Structure 1
Amino acid sequence: MEIAANPWDEFVVPRLDALVDVVDVEGELLDKLTAYELISRDDWERLRLPSVTKRDKARMLLMDILPRKGARDRYDAFVDALRRTGGQEHIVKILELPPQRGLTCARCNYSKEFFSYSSSCQLAAEKQRTLEAEKRVFALEMLLSGMRLKHEPKPQLSKGRFQWKKLVESPRLLQRYSSGQIEEINRAITIAQGHYIFQLADDGRWEESCVGVNVRCLIKCQNEGYILTGNETSQYIVELKNTGKVLPTVPDGHLPFRTSAIGHKEKIFLVGGADKLGSTSQVVTCFNSRTYEWTCLPSMIRGRYGCSLTIANNQLFIGGGLHESSTASNVVECFDMAAEKWINLCPTTNKLCELSSLHGELIATGGLPTQNAVEIYYKETNSWLPLPPMTGNRIGHGACTTEDNKLYVAGGNTFSNFVEHFEL
């Protein structure tokens, strides 16, 4: 009976510190609370001030404005408003948890201030969407650390992590769309541009060499370097250390310009391409560097050229590039190598971005319109979440992941010739 008499003190007050992090006072919820006459005109104007942060608005609402009303009225109206507000109805589940369980999720055993990040928990997925930038970074850190411990204290963000660091300038303006690329080959950051290869030595200097062929794509396979090159009628792959050794010719169907390539274990994957008229290819082929054989794989869903490729968890991801009629793309496709099936993922926020993978997570950098943007793919909700931006604007740049789990980017059509990296 006591709970029914004062449900606000029973269910809301013990959870105030956490609720101010997730309740979004702006927009629909504010309008509904005003309609229930829980918020006066003066209160409404205070909560609409642009200078007040979202968290301070939630604190003002929960700790100052609503406590002035009757206990029963304010609790029932607050809960009803949450239920009727899109994106906030899940907060009611927090209030319905037994008091002795605190903030432990009702459907999993993971307990913490930000509720649960269990991938099987819908409450966690909903909570993930509402996190602001710093909490999104914190959520990423929890994803990468495994999220297996219970009742642990809230960890602090590691200093130096999730920050971009500007490194030495590249020897030339690297533009991936004009035959530039970056890879880690034999534990050295390697850049290709035109007919030249540059490797970053331990002392920070670039060592230059001429390979004698025009580098269309720089490929890392079994920690060895390969080059995709060609002419107006055909394409072929050569070994970086022996460019005179030509491997079997690339099968027909890719079209001769701006085919994309990536290496994985002993295989090299080639995707798409275009001709001079702008027609695009959906063809996907695979070259085995051990058997020297080509295999045709199922075609991707939509043809494109100049796209970016990355591989994570035995899946091939395609993003960016251009479709027919030179239409810039933000479409992301995924090829499951085991099932040999293509699926569409949530499009990236930017078009013409560069895809990379780090710790098995899919990361998109640069592109249009926000050229310094970085975001990470959140599989459980099929959505992209923002990460700290790069120090410079980039489009048409190169990106690679190193063995020490750093993401390097270089060049682009914005005339950037410095290299920067991002560490998880």
Structure 2
Amino acid sequence: MSQSTLRIDPKWETHLRPQYMKVAVLLAPSRHHLASRLYSKHLLTASEEEEFNKLSKSKSEEEVAKEILCVLRKQSVGSFEKFCEVVSDVGDPTLDDVVKRLRQDSIERSLPSHSVSYVCEESVSLSSESTSNPWPSIRRNFTFLSERLPMSPFFIGCLYEKELLSEDEFKMLTDDHIVREQKIRFLLVDILPRKPFVMFTSFCEILDCVGQSHIADRLLENPLEVKLVPEVSVRRSEIANLQKEVELLLVQVADLDREKRAAVEVERQRADEAEAKATKAESERKKEEVMRKGEQLTNLAMRLKFLPLDEINDSLSSWTQWNVHMPHDSLEYNGMGEIEGRLVVGGDDGNLHVFTYEHDKWDRFVRKNGDIWNVVCHQGVCLVCVEDEDKDQFVIEQFYLNEDKKWRFLTVLPNELQLEAVSVALHDNSLYVVGGRSKSGERVNTARVCDLHSGHWYKMDDMQTKRRSCSSVIINNTVFVGEGETDEHYCSNIVECADVRDRKWRTIPSTTTYWPTLTSVSNRLVVIGGMTQQMFGSPSNIVELYDERSTKWLPLPLMTHKRWLHAAFSTQNGELITAGGEGGEHSIESLKCD
């Protein structure tokens, strides 16, 4: 037995335990006064008193009194006498009788008159061979036992301790979902009669221990059927130890239950705090997003000088023809950009062509093998989607104009992007690759994103339209994809867009021309040139700007030359530049939009 058990006042076990239920019933009407008086005598803590006051609103008087007695039985030596004093001070005559009953030695009073043994007078000297099974007396007294037999947890625990019950039988008899009548029938009909007859004496001992000696006497009354009942020795120390162990287990169960409820409450509080933090963080995020969008709209309005969209066309000049021509005979160019006073163009000859404004001169930077499918310029670096014919794969390479002017490998396109004629766009250090054509000639609608910091590729939803040789541009966190070839000799005028955050595609109104080139000016989507028909058309010089408010395409000044399969982009100063293409020969022209 532990040291904490030895410090408990033993009178709680010797005086209160045998008449625990009776005392709880008598104390029930005075539970309110009792809890406050016990607190004043330091027998209850403030939290325990508050807990009992709360229980009185949801539980019966008798249940609250039982809870109080359960807590008191853990008190130290001397607490029992303090409890008796508190009960006497209430001034209730009924409670005075309770005090008198408590101060008697109830263990002595609960033992039978013959104290220690049951022996049948005529059979003491008989040998074990002449004995018969005593358990039939239980079946003959079934009605008597079913009405009077206690089925308390203490009684069932004693049966289990004396090995009259197996672990499964103990769990069944302590199951609150099974009614008392079923438990008694199971005990008297199915369990006890199958036990060895020598255990009958243990059963009688337990009845004595729980104050039911009259039931034990009734079972031993018939000498005709029971020729020999072995001597039963009731040892006070064993009974007291068994009672203390059972009560200690009950106290431990109550402590564990309180600890569990406290842990659940702490967990609930933590969950509430976490939810509050998450709500606050979401609110801050939405606030920042609204402020960012407001700043973007303000910048856009300033760039457009607050002109209505239907007046923008009137403020624009006409296209200006450059005196410079493209450097080689090819009419098709795949991507165009500007880096610090130099115009960069990717040609279908597999080379990078750079025009320096200051020197009025073209330079060519040769790649050894493979075609260039797209060019993107950013912070002094050209990102180029190329075909590596030696390794038979498509890769992304870098070309630094401001340093050693050498090609550097960046990353390999994933297996699903090992395609020709893809389109590439750059936004916030993320590279977007869409569309293309497989080596078998099939058009695809795949879309992937590469984080240039980590080199990882991420998947977007597939586009609604399969296409190759399309063009793409990103405006205000939205990627637009248009034009291209959807089937053999079949041009497309379908434009799709997706937010770079949710990556879900949707369509906007189709363009007037087919297979135009997409770019942007002052954060507005612009399409340039294209074909007049879906199949076997001729190049066009139409230029259109998309109005998101009215979801309509508005006309801009016509180009000087009709163009198809040309390159186009806009400078930071808001100037549209287009070059090459069928119909445009080798010319370059521009349109100032400020």
When normalised by structure 1's length, the TM-score is 0.60
**Counterpart in the other structure of 1:144:** 304
1:316 and 2:476 are equivalent in the alignment: no
**Which residue identity lines up with residue 372 of structure 1 in the other structure?**
N
| Unpaired runs of at least 5, structure 2 | 1-299, 533-538
* Structure number with bigger Rg: 2
**Aligned position for 1:215:** 372
Distance 1:155 1:189 in 2: 27
Q: Output the CA distance in 2 between the equivalents of 1:409 and 1:348.
A: 18
Match of 2:431 in 1: 268
Following the alignment from structure 1 to structure 2, what is the Cα–Cα distance between the partners of residues 244 and 211?
8
Deviation at 1:165, TM superposition (A): 0.7
Letter in 2 for 1:240: F
3-state SS in 2 of match to 1:247: strand
The amino acid that maps onto 1:358 is V
2:498 equivalent to 1:341: no
Q: Deviations over 1:319-343 (max 9, x none)?
A: 1101134421000001111332211
Q: Which runs of 5+ in 1 are unaligned?
A: 1-139, 149-153
2:579 counterpart (382, 394, 410): 410
**Match of 1:171, SS?**
coil
Larger proportion of helix: 2
The answer to whether the aligner puts 1:226 opposite 2:383 as a matched pair is yes
Q: 1:155 to 1:296 in 2, by over 3 A?
A: closer
Q: Does 1:392 align with 2:548?
A: no
Aligned residues: 276
Indicate how the Cα distance of structure 1 residues 205 and 282 shifts in structure 2: closer, same or farther if over 3 A, else same.
Answer: same
> Is the CA contact 1:166–1:420 (under 8 Å) kept in the aligned structure 2?
yes
Matches of residues 360-399 of structure 1 in structure 2 within 5 Å? 360-369=523-532, 371-399=540-568
CA distance in 2, matches of 1:287, 1:222: 18
Distance in 2 between residues matched to 1:260 and 1:391, nearest whole Å: 26
Structure 1 CA distance for aligned equivalents of residues 314 and 378 of structure 2: 35
For 1:54, the equivalent position in structure 2 comes to none
Which residue does the alignment assign to 1:191? 345
> What's the offset of the Cα at 1:372?
0.7
Q: State the TM-score, normalized to the length of structure 2.
A: 0.44
- Cα distance in 1 between the residues matched to 2:419 and 2:312: 51
**Distance in 2, Cα, partners of 1:141 & 1:268:** 28
Distance 1:345 1:366 in 2: 18
Q: More relative contact order in 1 or in 2 (CA 8 Å, sep 6+)?
A: 1
> For residues 44-123 of structure 1, what are the structure 2 equivalents within 5 Å?
none
Contact 2:561/2:584, CA 8 A, preserved across alignment? no
Is residue 2:385 matched to residue 1:204?
no
- Contact 1:279-1:325 within 8 A present in 2 as well: no
Match of 1:123 in 2: none
Alignment counterpart, residue 320 of structure 2, candidates 156, 165, 170: 165
Whether the aligned pair in 2 keeps the contact of 1:352 and 1:367 (CA below 8 Å) is yes
Give the share of equivalent positions with the same residue, in percent: 25
Once the two structures are superposed, the pairs formed by residues 16-27 of structure 1 within 5 Å of their partners are none
State the secondary structure of the residue aligned to 2:412. Answer: coil
- Go from structure 1 to structure 2 and tell me whether the alpha carbon gap of 1:243 and 1:303 turns closer, same or farther (over 3 Å shift): farther
- Cα drift, residue 231 of structure 1: 4.8
In structure 2, distance between residues paired with 1:155 and 1:344 = 25
* Aligned residues of 2:430 and 2:449 also touching (Cα < 8 A): yes
> Matches of 1:366 and 1:147 in 2, distance apart?
25
Q: What CA distance in whole angstroms lies between the structure 2 residues aligned with 1:248 and 1:270?
A: 13
Give the secondary-structure state (helix, strand or coil) at the position aligned to 1:253.
Answer: helix
* Higher strand proportion: 1
Structure 1 segments, 4+ long, off by >4 Å, are 140-143, 154-158
1:244 positional shift = 4.7
Shift of 1:164: 0.8
| Cα deviation, residue 357, structure 1 | 0.6
CA distance in 2, matches of 1:236, 1:156: 41
Q: Deviations over 1:45-75 (max 9, x none)?
A: xxxxxxxxxxxxxxxxxxxxxxxxxxxxxxx
**Offset at 1:184?**
1.1
Rate the CA distance shift 1:147–1:393 in 2: closer, same or farther, 3 A: closer
The alpha-carbon deviation at position 297 of structure 1 amounts to 1.5
